[in-house]
Homo-oligomer: A and B are copies of this chain.
């Protein structure tokens, strides 16, 4: 038995934003084409359940991801909802131009810390992506748009192609994009390689460089550690966590594996720990049920929908 450290719960944030990724990270991994009308119903139901940050799609060429070809329409609807921060993923300058034209409030630019993953995914080295981000930032500034730029460091905990990703490389890339003046960075365990000790170590290192600009953690539940990893990030004060309704997402390299942390499960954990989210748990479950219908036959995941809340839990609507 080692000496008892200071209370492990002392540093949990009082309030956490659960950022919904289902419409992008989720749907890009499934074959089913969800109709635009259903996506709009999804955004409306998520908003009604209290979600205020939603990644609604990706400005990639429709040929590459036909599932997300209607991103502009979904974004336009999301922009009608007061107080909703709708985010779009943008892989390059051309996508950024579309996001700026659409006056997206926020664009999320992926930057893979794995050299091999970066080449496979974007056909660019990480440093080439950093150079593209510089161009995107300049374009944003020249456009006069107020679109915020978040860089999501993907494969930050390892990569199915390359294997190890050096934490120092993650820190170097974070520093590089902060030097370019991006508004925020986040760390993503794209392939489900992280464990909570790795999360603690890497977030601790990146916090020293990025401080408050380290805006979010993005965890996949591929190997069952998604919620433990979220908890480790929460312990370092990270107050924004990505999740997908019904745990969709997944990893093409691990068939049958869970995808992103399920929104409902993460919300349950947070509410159980008395961390406010503003989310209505029952409405999240109702939305999950709709998504399962829209994705009929596709694998969905998550746990709490099967068992229900503990008898002891009083989950306030819009806590």
Q: Is there contact, CB below 8 Å, between A6 and B6?
A: yes
**Is A167 positioned at the interface, with any CB of B under 8 Å from its CB?**
no
How far is the CB of A209 from the nearest CB of chain B, in Å?
12
List CB contacts (< 8 Å) of A198-221 with chain B. Answer: 198, 200-201, 204, 207, 211-212, 221
Instruction: Specify the chain B residue showing the minimal Cβ separation from A254.
Output: B307
**Is A163 positioned at the interface, with any CB of B under 8 Å from its CB?**
yes
Question: Interface size for chain A: under 10, 10 to 19, 20 to 34, or 35 or more residues?
Answer: 35 or more
List CB contacts (< 8 Å) of A210-249 with chain B. Answer: 211-212, 221-225, 227-228, 230-232, 235-239
List CB contacts (< 8 Å) of A135-189 with chain B. Answer: 158-160, 163-164
Task: Tell which of A18-26, A79-87, A95-103, A266-274 binds the partner.
Answer: A266-274
Task: Tell which of A9-17, A39-47, A120-128, A277-285 binds the partner.
Answer: A9-17
Q: Is there contact, CB below 8 Å, between B8 and A160?
A: no
Instruction: Specify the chain B residue showing the minimal Cβ separation from A313.
Output: B193
**Is A256 positioned at the interface, with any CB of B under 8 Å from its CB?**
yes
Contact of A9 among B197, B212, B258 (CB under 8 A): B197
How far is the CB of A214 from the nearest CB of chain B, in Å?
8
How far is the CB of A68 from the nearest CB of chain B, in Å?
26
A1 contact set on B, CB distance < 8 A: 13, 211-212, 237-239
**Is A32 positioned at the interface, with any CB of B under 8 Å from its CB?**
no
**Is A2 positioned at the interface, with any CB of B under 8 Å from its CB?**
yes
CA distance A158 to B310 in the complex (A): 8
A228 contact set on B, CB distance < 8 A: 196, 227-228, 230-231, 269
**Is A51 positioned at the interface, with any CB of B under 8 Å from its CB?**
no
Instruction: Specify the chain B residue showing the minimal Cβ separation from A233.
Output: B8
User: Which of A236, A272, A307 has the most chain B CB atoms inside 10 A of its CB?
Assistant: A307
How far is the CB of A13 from the nearest CB of chain B, in Å?
6
Q: Is there contact, CB below 8 Å, between B200 and A7?
A: yes
A53 contact set on B, CB distance < 8 A: none
How far is the CB of A219 from the nearest CB of chain B, in Å?
11
Q: List 12 A-B contacts (CB under 8 A).
A: A2-B237, A5-B6, A8-B200, A8-B235, A164-B312, A195-B272, A196-B231, A198-B272, A222-B307, A223-B307, A231-B231, A258-B303
6 nearest CB pairs, A to B: A224-B303, A195-B272, A2-B237, A197-B273, A228-B228, A8-B200
